[in-house]
């Protein structure tokens, strides 16, 4: 005998399946996904442009099914059944929250009123059916299957290793994201001689941090990175002390004094056989170099933004690294302080170091840089090299007169850019191929 609850469940499943089927067709998702529990909810999240929420929802949903299945093994009336019951209750609560998040994205993508969220929550099947059948309701953004897109041209021409400098040969850098392989970087080959100060330019999500992490060996890529012929990946234990990376945020303990912060940094980064006197001298020199001597006994919390930034840089500079990478060192600084900081970085480069800087306001200090690396997202959203070379060559290559304009030209249209990343990546590949043949 079929009870009302069973009928309601069957009716809900049938209507939601038909609804999902129609919605998936609108969003360019494979129709047969609509029959598979867990998978179909994940696909609906993709249709809602809420991929992360969809992943979490799918995992919780799977766990809920597993816990629900467990309850069949308990004897009727057993108190043990309360344990999975409570877990199930918690999971269902989490599912409801994630469902709300997903449908918030859904109504936005399909241009529906927010009242629809309630409808989706309580009568999901009917709501999906209505949206699926109504031809006037169409998604603003369809689900992109990156695999089906043509791959942007790959140069694959490796940079020759140089004695006095950095050689980067990144074939690719990928991650597994929810059972899918995602390429974060591809086909980046370049050499930077010592004494050069290089600007690393790229829009949001273009892979700047991934590139920096791959170059420093912090997150290894399918690549060969050589610093003066030493393989950074193979000799990472030693090379990490020859590479300084200054993060964007000033990650320093505020309750220590400047002197103690730098002394501890020296103890961590300098070779252990250096005498205490030499260590102290190095700390004093670096304090002097970065203009921190006057505030050396102040607590870090009491420093100004510029002073904190200089301390953050000094902490990495204490080990006198050959490769020095800075992630937005000028964030939060005014123009004058920022320029003074960049002049200091120029002076470091002039001592024969390689300085790579990420900054979002490059034009005010562009005269201090030698070269620029431009990273851009291709149509598969992989970080690609759109240009590497001298500053004036970059202006010529992109046909622009400032770095800001170059950035705008490669940014996606939905980010307010010109969406020409694909074009420049291809053009740069051709340029490199031509140069290699010559």
Partner 1 sequence: MKEKTIRHTGRLPQTFIYLGKLFRMFIFQNDWKVLPMSAIIAGLVSFAVGRNLFKTMEGTLTGTFALSCICIWNGFFNSIQVICRERAIIKREHRSGLHISSYVLAHMIYQAFICICQVIITIVICLATNIVFPKETLLFSIPYIDFGITMFLITYCADMLALMISAIAKTTTTAMTVMPFLLIVQLVFSGGFFSLPDAAEPLTDFTIAKWGLISLCAQGNYNSLPMVTVWNSAVKMKDIEIEGQKPLKIVLQSIEEKGQREEILKQSGLQNQNPKYNFDLKIVLKCWKALLFWIVIYVAVATLFLEYIDKDKR
Residues lying near partner 1 in the complex (CB under 8 A) are found at 79-80, 209, 216, 218-219, 227-228, 230, 235, 238-242, 245, 247-249, 251-253, 255-256, 260, 264-265, 267-273, 299, 315-316, 320, 322
**Nearer of residues 7 and 93 to partner 1, judged by Cβ:** 93
Residue 143 CA to residue 24 CA, distance in Å, equals 9
**Nearer of residues 15 and 56 to partner 1, judged by Cβ:** 56
Total number of residues shown for the chain: 438
Q: Positive or negative CA dihedral for 251, 257, 263, 264?
A: negative
User: How far, rounded to the nearest angstrom, does the alpha carbon of residue 291 sit from its chain's CA centroid?
Assistant: 33
Closest CA to 406 of 364, 372, 369: 372
Residue 397 CA to residue 373 CA, distance in Å, equals 12
Residue 18 CA to residue 279 CA, distance in Å, equals 72
**Nearer of residues 226 and 371 to partner 1, judged by Cβ:** 226
Strand partners for 167: 191, 226
Count the alpha carbons within 13 Å of 54 in the hemisphere toward its beta carbon.
20
Residue 354 CA to residue 194 CA, distance in Å, equals 5
Closest CA to 190 of 170, 220, 174: 170
**Nearer of residues 124 and 250 to partner 1, judged by Cβ:** 250
Kindly state the smallest distance separating residue 277's Cβ from partner 1, in Å. 17
Kindly state the smallest distance separating residue 330's Cβ from partner 1, in Å. 18
Residue 383 CA to residue 186 CA, distance in Å, equals 6
Kindly state the smallest distance separating residue 354's Cβ from partner 1, in Å. 11
Q: Positive or negative CA dihedral for 397, 398, 400, 404?
A: negative
Residue 179 CA to residue 306 CA, distance in Å, equals 44
Kindly state the smallest distance separating residue 283's Cβ from partner 1, in Å. 14
Kindly state the smallest distance separating residue 376's Cβ from partner 1, in Å. 20
**Nearer of residues 75 and 160 to partner 1, judged by Cβ:** 75
User: How far, rounded to the nearest angstrom, does the alpha carbon of residue 409 sit from its chain's CA centroid?
Assistant: 20
**Nearer of residues 132 and 383 to partner 1, judged by Cβ:** 383
Kindly state the smallest distance separating residue 289's Cβ from partner 1, in Å. 19
For residue 349, what are the CA distances in angstroms to 68, 88, 343, 356, 390?
62, 59, 10, 9, 15
**Nearer of residues 194 and 384 to partner 1, judged by Cβ:** 194
Residue 18 CA to residue 381 CA, distance in Å, equals 32
Kindly state the smallest distance separating residue 123's Cβ from partner 1, in Å. 33
Burial group, residue 433, by CB count within 10 angstroms (0-12, 13-18, 19+): middle
Cβ(403)–Cβ(362) below 8 Å: yes
**Nearer of residues 81 and 391 to partner 1, judged by Cβ:** 81
Kindly state the smallest distance separating residue 403's Cβ from partner 1, in Å. 23
User: Which region holds residue 308: left if phi is over 0, alpha if psi is between -120 and 50, else beta?
Assistant: alpha
**DSSP state letters, 369-403:** -SEEEEEEE-TT--EEEEEEEEHHHHHHHHT-SSH
**Nearer of residues 88 and 227 to partner 1, judged by Cβ:** 227
**Nearer of residues 41 and 250 to partner 1, judged by Cβ:** 250
How does strand 180-193 pair with strand 222-227?
Answer: unpaired
Kindly state the smallest distance separating residue 408's Cβ from partner 1, in Å. 24
Kindly state the smallest distance separating residue 350's Cβ from partner 1, in Å. 17
**Nearer of residues 332 and 419 to partner 1, judged by Cβ:** 332
Kindly state the smallest distance separating residue 252's Cβ from partner 1, in Å. 7
Distance in angstroms between the alpha carbons of the first and the last residue of the chain? 82
**Nearer of residues 249 and 401 to partner 1, judged by Cβ:** 249
Kindly state the smallest distance separating residue 247's Cβ from partner 1, in Å. 6
Residue 157 CA to residue 290 CA, distance in Å, equals 40
């Amino acid at each position: 005998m079929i009870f009302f609850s069973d009928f309601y469940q069957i009716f809900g499943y049938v209507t939601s399946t038909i609804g999902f089927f129609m919605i998936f067709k609108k969003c360019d998702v494979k129709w047969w996904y609509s029959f598979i529990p867990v998978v179909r909810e994940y696909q609906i999240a993709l249709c809602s442009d809420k991929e992360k929420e969809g992943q979490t929802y799918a995992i919780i949903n799977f766990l809920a099914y597993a816990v629900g299945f467990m309850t069949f093994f308990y004897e009727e009336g057993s108190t043990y059944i309360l344990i999975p019951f409570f877990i199930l209750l918690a999971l269902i609560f989490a599912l409801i929250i994630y469902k709300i998040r997903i449908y918030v994205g859904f109504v936005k993508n399909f241009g529906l009123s927010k009242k629809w969220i309630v409808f989706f929550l309580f009568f999901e099947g009917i709501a999906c059916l209505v949206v699926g059948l109504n031809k006037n309701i169409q998604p603003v953004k369809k689900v992109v299957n990156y695999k089906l897109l043509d791959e942007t041209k790959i140069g694959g021409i490796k940079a020759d290793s140089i004695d006095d400098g950095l050689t980067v040969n990144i074939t690719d850098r990928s991650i597994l994201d929810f059972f899918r392989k995602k390429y974060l970087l591809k086909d980046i080959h370049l050499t930077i001689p010592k004494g050069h100060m290089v600007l690393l330019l790229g829009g949001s999500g273009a892979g700047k941090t991934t590139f920096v992490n791959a170059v420093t060996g912090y997150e290894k890529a399918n690549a060969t990175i050589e610093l003066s012929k030493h393989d950074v990946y193979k000799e990472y234990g030693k090379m990490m002390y020859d590479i300084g990376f200054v993060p964007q945020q000033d990650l320093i303990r505020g309750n220590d004094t400047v002197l103690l912060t730098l002394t501890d940094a020296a103890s961590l980064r300098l070779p252990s056989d250096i005498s205490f006197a030499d260590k102290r001298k190095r700390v004093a020199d670096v304090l002097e170099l970065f203009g921190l001597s006057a505030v050396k006994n102040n607590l870090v919390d009491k420093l100004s933004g510029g002073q904190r930034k200089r301390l953050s840089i000094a902490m990495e500079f204490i080990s006198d690294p050959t490769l020095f990478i800075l992630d937005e060192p000028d964030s939060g600084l005014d123009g004058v302080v920022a320029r003074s900081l960049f002049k200091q970085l120029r002076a470091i480069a002039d001592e024969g170091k390689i300085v790579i800087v990420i900054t979002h306001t490059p034009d005010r200090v562009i005269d201090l840089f030698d070269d620029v690396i431009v990273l851009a997202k291709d149509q598969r959203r992989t970080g690609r090299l759109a240009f590497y070379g001298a500053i004036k060559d970059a202006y010529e290559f992109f046909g622009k007169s400032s770095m800001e304009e170059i950035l705008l030209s490669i940014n996606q249209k939905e980010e307010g850019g010109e969406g020409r990343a694909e074009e420049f990546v291809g053009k740069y590949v051709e340029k490199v191929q031509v140069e290699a043949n010559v």
